Structure 1
Amino acid sequence: MNDRLQTALPPALAALLSRHSLGPRWMVAPGPDAQQLALAVQAALRAPNHGRLQPWRLVTIEEAQRPALAALFEQFARDAGKSEEEVATERERAWNGPVLVAWVARIDSNVEKVPPHEQWICVGAAMGNFMNALHSQGFGAKILSGRKCQHPALVQAFCEEGEQLVGFTCIGTPTRGLEPREKDEASAPLLSAWKPG
Structure 2
Amino acid sequence: MDALDLLLNRVSVTRLFDPAPDEAQLDLLFRAALRAPDHGQLRPWRFLVIQGAARERLGELFVESLKLSDPDCSEEALQKARKMPLRAPMLVVVVARLLSHPKVPESEQVLAAACAAHGLLLAAHAQGLGAVWRTGAFSYDEHVARGLELAAHERLLGFIYLGTPEEGRLRTPPTLEPRDFVSQWHGGV
Confirm or deny a common fold (TM above 0.5).
Answer: yes
Shift of 1:121: 1.5
User: Would you say the 8 A contact 1:73–1:94 is kept in 2?
Assistant: no
Confirm whether residue 14 of structure 1 aligns to residue 14 of structure 2. no
Q: How far, CA to CA, are the matches of 2:115 and 2:54 in structure 1? A: 28
Q: How many residues align?
A: 184
Shift of 1:59: 0.5
| Runs of at least 5 residues in structure 1 that lack an aligned partner in the other structure | 1-9
**2:25 aligned partner:** 36
Confirm whether residue 60 of structure 1 aligns to residue 10 of structure 2. no
Shift of 1:150: 3.0
Q: How far, CA to CA, are the matches of 2:172 and 2:7 in structure 1? A: 10
**2:98 aligned partner:** 107
Q: How far, CA to CA, are the matches of 1:59 and 1:78 in structure 2? A: 24
Matched AA of 2:88: G
User: Would you say the 8 A contact 1:43–1:129 is kept in 2?
Assistant: yes
Shift of 1:179: 4.3
TM-score scaled by length of structure 2 = 0.90
User: Would you say the 8 A contact 2:10–2:173 is kept in 1?
Assistant: no
What is the percentage of aligned positions where both structures have the same residue? 35
Kindly report the root-mean-square deviation, in angstroms, between the aligned alpha carbons of the 2 structures.
1.6
User: Would you say the 8 A contact 2:94–2:113 is kept in 1?
Assistant: no
**1:191 aligned partner:** 182
| Runs of at least 5 residues in structure 2 that lack an aligned partner in the other structure | none
2:170 to 178, 186, 192: 178
User: Would you say the 8 A contact 1:31–1:99 is kept in 2?
Assistant: yes
Q: How far, CA to CA, are the matches of 1:55 and 1:128 in structure 2? A: 14
Structure 1 segments of 4 or more deviating over 2 A?
A: 149-153, 176-181
Matched AA of 2:156: L
Q: Deviations over 1:49-80 (max 9, x none)?
A: 11011111010112021221121011112122
TM-score scaled by length of structure 1 = 0.87
